[in-house]
Every structure is written in C-alpha cells, then in structure tokens.
Amino acid sequence: MKPFQRILQTLGLRRPTPTGRSRAPASASSSPALNASLQETLSRLQTSFGQSSDIVVRQWGGSGDMSGRLSLIYIEGMVNPKLLSNLTKALSEAEPRLADRSIASESVEETIQSVLPAGHLHRIETDAQLYSAILEGSAAVLVDGVPGGIAAAVPGGERRGVEEPTSQTVVRGPKEGFTEELAINLSLLRRKLRTPGLRFERRKIGRYTQTSVVIAYIDGLLDPQILEEIRTRLDAIDTDSILESGYIEEFIQDRTWSPFPTIMNTERPDTAAAALLEGLAAILVDGTPFVLLAPVTFFKFFQASEDYYQRYDISSLLRVIRLFSFFVGMLLPSLYIAVTTFHQEMLPTTLLVSLAAQREGTPLPALIEAFLMEITFEVIREAGVRMPRAIGPAISIVGALVLGQAAVQAGLVSGAMVIVVSFTAIANFVIPALNMAASIRLIRFLLMLLAGTFGLFGILIGTIPILTHVVTLRSFGVPYFTPLAPLEWNNLKDLFLRVPWRLMKSRPEAFYQQNEWRQGQGGNSGSHPGGGAG
C-alpha cells in the first residue's frame, strides 16, 4: 500500500477494501480435519483450550479421561441443563449400538442423528467447526473411528428475558424490547413480520470474539445495491473484537469525522420491523439489544414509533415540538450570547434593563458564563448516569437546583443564563434519538464560541457550513436530507406532519421500492401492509 493511502486509511478517511490482505483467523475449510481417533481429537481440544475447567467431556464405553467409544463435549454454563439431560439419556440408550465397531461411519452418523432429541443438528468435519459449535452453546457428539461428528443445538445459560426497553419508552405501543440473545431478537422480528420475504444473512466478525452479525431485510423492498454495499462494508471489517453494535456502526458509517449519525439504533422490535417495511436493512449483533438501521435520513431521527400509534393530529404536534427543540438545543445559548453581547438594540427596552440589572454584579462575560454553566450541566448529567441507579436521579436534580441557585446568589452567573441553559438541556432530551441529541450538544459549543466572537454573524458563519455538510451527506448512497434535498413531494406527508394512515398509501421514495404500495393499488400480499418509520 502506498504511504499516502496508508495515512488516509489510518485517519479513517479511506475505507479499506475487502479484497485487501486480511488477518482474520483461518476458515473452517483450512482448519485440520477431525481425526478418526477420538483420543487424538480430545487431546487437540484440551490443548487448544488450555485444559480449561469449563470444557466438559462425557464418555461412554471406556474408562479414564481420554478413553471411550462415544463422547459428548460441551461448555458448562452455555447449554440448557434440561435439553442436555435428554441428550445424555438418548446417548446412553444408544451406546450399545454405537459401540459396535463393525458399523460403517455413515451408519454411525445416521444412528446418532436418529436418536438425538435436539431440533437443530449439523455435521462437524474440522477442528474449527468443533470449537465454534461448542462455543455457540451446542453439544458435540463424537464416535471413535468416525472422522467427523454431530453438533446438537442445546443453547442455554442465564439470559435476560424480553423486557420493556429502557432507552426508548412509549405511552402507547408494544412494551417488549430486544435482548442480548441474537436468536431471541430474530424471533421477535419473525413475530412482527410473518412473511417468507424476511431474510437473515449471518456472518462472523472479530478474530477473538467471533461475534455473530445478522443482516435482516425484506426481499423486494431493500435496494439490492444498498444490500451489496452493506455486505461489502461488513466483510471489510478486520478487528480483534465486536462487543457491541457501536463497533459495527463506526466501521461501516459513511463519514468518520461527521458529527451527524448516518445509522440509527433502536431497542424496539416494532421500530425495526417498521424500518424493514420501508425498505431499510437491520443489522443485529449478538450480545447487545441495540439494532442498527440503515440507510436513514436526517428526519428519521425525529420520528418516534409512538407517532404511528396515536392520532395523526397529536403525532404531528409532537413532531413539530421535536423539530423546534432541535433548533432550541442547538441555537438558544449562542443567540443569547450574541444578542446580550453585540446586539442589545434587538431587545425590548424593558427586557434589556432587566438583563442589565441581573448582569450588573456578574464578573464574567456572557460567553464564559455560558460555557461554565453548560460544562457544569454536562458534568451533572454524566454523574447522574454513572451513579448507582438508586441515588443517580436524586443527585442530578438536587445538584442542578442547588448549584444553579448558589451560582446566582454568589453572583457568578445571571438568573437569565440559568434559565437559558436549563431550557436548552430540557429541549435536548425531547429528541428521540440519543445519538442525534449528542451531535447537537457538540455543535452547540462551537456555535457558542462563534457567537461570543462575532455575534449573529458568527452564528451565520457556523450554520452555513453545517447545513452544507448535511445536504451533501449520504447514508449508504441515500441523500441524508431527503425529502427536502432532493425534493420529493410524495414524502412530505410524513415529514414535519403526519397525515392520516389512509392517505399514506405508498412507501417512501427515498429508498428503492419494487413494491411501492403498502395500501391498495394491488400491493404485494407477501409484505406486511402496515408499519411506519420508528
């Protein structure tokens, strides 16, 4: 690789191609084949896992740790005890038949498959497949003299059940949320979308974690070019570990240095199902309840799943409030700084006299005052998140009230500044998507600095590049500011306002639609007719 290209790739400005040299572990096809000798296979297993105490090996037809005709291998704590007990009982009963060494290998495997009570069985041919099977919660059955084995899926262990989402709550709507178990998450989507068009594509990412990542989409609704782009970006990931979907999000996002997110995340199955029905793809990662949705547009981050469960008039009002809160959270402190510092003539006389009286004893400029209050609030917010749940909210509320009142009485800040910062923080919480709210917090500090330096002209200097950046941004090839730029009239009915359901007959034009109509017009019966953007 050329030095300049290597520098760009290091800085994240150039995405590595999947055809480049990869340091991923050897595939199953290049792994050594299972030895016909059961003792040799078990010896390799113990060596690879370093004699780990949680590797359980049960044997029949012999004595000792490494002898026997029939062996059952699993990892303690990763299998279901009840299913494992049924499996062990079935093997014990079948052991006399399997102990006959005159039976051919094919007959032995057929016998094993016929007696095992597990629902999902697959053949094991290499050491890598054996290790992968037991690490995923399966039990491996090996027979001495047979160059292969059978893996029975008996996953279990302690897991968190399906509960109400904690980060995306609703007053009206489903109360179930995704969990850390990938199989449960896939079943939740299947229950929402009972169509054979729902597709799941699985792959392993992470040299050490070997994390299962699944692309979910509805055949005929997702643009094939977008699907191929998602596959390419996922296959290009070469890293040690994937512990959460945030790893995937950073690896496959369009712009590394953009403050605006180009991928949504959700904890709600209904939101994910609605996105799939609009032609989006969902990326599910094993071990996390947060599912990624792509491609998305800027206005998707201001739409909540509850918008489609309430009346259209209430939903439209709430959506307008969210957009208003977006501008308040981004511009209010900088506008206050600019007007009080450079443009006092814009204020009514009564208000100007009141603000001047409040700031008479304040020793700090408005810019420093605003920065002090904003940083203080960010510290209190972070402390409330990191503190134990029992005392976190109390510390946040009491800390904000006490510090704000004390700062005003001490003359460090004015009462008006406390009101501005408090209302800005409350407006920031109105935005449904936390990653978009975090972006606003970053932009707010930049605009405050420009407002304290150049006044309203500074705010204009900052907002023009931001708007230009948003308009030119793309999410997997889809313009980020759709349907305003480019303008798509048909999509405006579900933008700032939401029209009644009977008028939203077609799906959004921003995404490729082989089946355009979701109501009437001879829509494809293979896809679910409902669903809105969550």
- Quote helix, strand, coil % in the chain, to nearest 5: 50, 15, 40
- 195 with 137, same domain: the answer is no
Whether 57 is covered by a domain: the verdict is yes
Whether 498 is covered by a domain: the verdict is no
* Domains contained in the chain, number: 3
Residue with structure tokens 């019966």? 525
Question: 292, 282 in Cβ contact below 8 A?
Answer: yes
- 241 with 272, same domain: the answer is yes
- 192 with 282, same domain: the answer is yes
Q: Where are the alpha helices (DSSP H) in 124-283?
A: 127-135, 182-192, 224-235, 245-252, 269-277
- 270 with 334, same domain: the answer is no
What is the distance between the alpha carbons of residues 434 and 441, in angstroms, rounded to a whole number?
Answer: 11
- 457 with 319, same domain: the answer is yes
- 47 with 76, same domain: the answer is yes
- 291 with 316, same domain: the answer is no
Q: Residue 42 contacts by C-beta under 8 Å, 6 or more apart in sequence?
A: 57, 66, 71, 73, 142
- 144 with 87, same domain: the answer is yes
CA 282 to chain centre: 9
| CA torsion through residues 344, 345, 347, 348, sign | positive
Question: What pLDDT is recorded for position 475?
Answer: 92
Q: SS3 string of 104-157?
A: CHHHHHHHHHHHCCCCCEEEECEHHHHHHHHHCCEEEEEECCCCCEEEEECECC
- 349 with 467, same domain: the answer is yes
What is the pTM for the complete model shown? 0.81
What is the distance between the alpha carbons of residues 32 and 415, in angstroms, rounded to a whole number?
Answer: 73
Whether 355 is covered by a domain: the verdict is yes
- 40 with 126, same domain: the answer is yes
Whether 519 is covered by a domain: the verdict is no
Whether 176 is covered by a domain: the verdict is no
Whether 170 is covered by a domain: the verdict is no
Which of 472, 497, 526 lies at the terminal end of a domain, its last residue?
472
Q: Any idea what the Cα angle at residue 236 is, between residues 233 and 241, rounded to 5°?
A: 105
CA neighbor of 263 nearest in space, from 10, 473, 441, 16: 473
Q: Which domain holds residue 381?
A: 312-472
What is the distance between the alpha carbons of residues 224 and 220, in angstroms, rounded to a whole number?
Answer: 8
Each of the 534 residues of the chain gets a pLDDT tens digit; together they read 444 444 444 444 444 444 433 344 444 446 788 887 888 888 888 888 888 888 888 888 654 444 567 888 998 888 888 888 888 888 888 777 766 655 656 676 777 777 777 668 888 888 888 998 898 888 898 888 888 888 888 887 777 888 888 888 888 889 999 999 898 999 999 999 998 999 999 999 999 999 999 999 999 889 899 999 999 999 999 999 999 999 999 999 988 889 999 999 999 999 999 999 988 999 999 999 999 999 999 999 999 888 889 999 999 999 999 999 999 999 999 999 999 999 888 888 888 888 888 877 788 888 998 998 888 888 888 877 777 766 666 666 666 667 777 777 777 888 888 889 889 989 998 999 989 999 999 999 999 999 999 999 999 999 999 999 999 999 998 999 988 888 877 778 888 888 888 887 777 766 655 677 777 664 444 433 334 443
Question: What pLDDT is recorded for position 267?
Answer: 94
Any bridge partners for residue 72, and if so which? 58, 141
Which of 234, 262, 295 lies at the terminal end of a domain, its last residue?
295
- 329 with 432, same domain: the answer is yes
Residue 448 CB neighbours (<10 A):
26
Whether 400 is covered by a domain: the verdict is yes
Any bridge partners for residue 479, and if so which? 474
| CA torsion through residues 99, 103, 108, 110, sign | negative
- Strand ranges for 370-503 from DSSP E: 474-475, 478-479
- 149 with 214, same domain: the answer is no
Q: What is the DSSP letter of 344?
A: G
What are the angstrom distances between the C-alpha of 131 and each of 140, 173, 212, 515? 9, 42, 15, 43
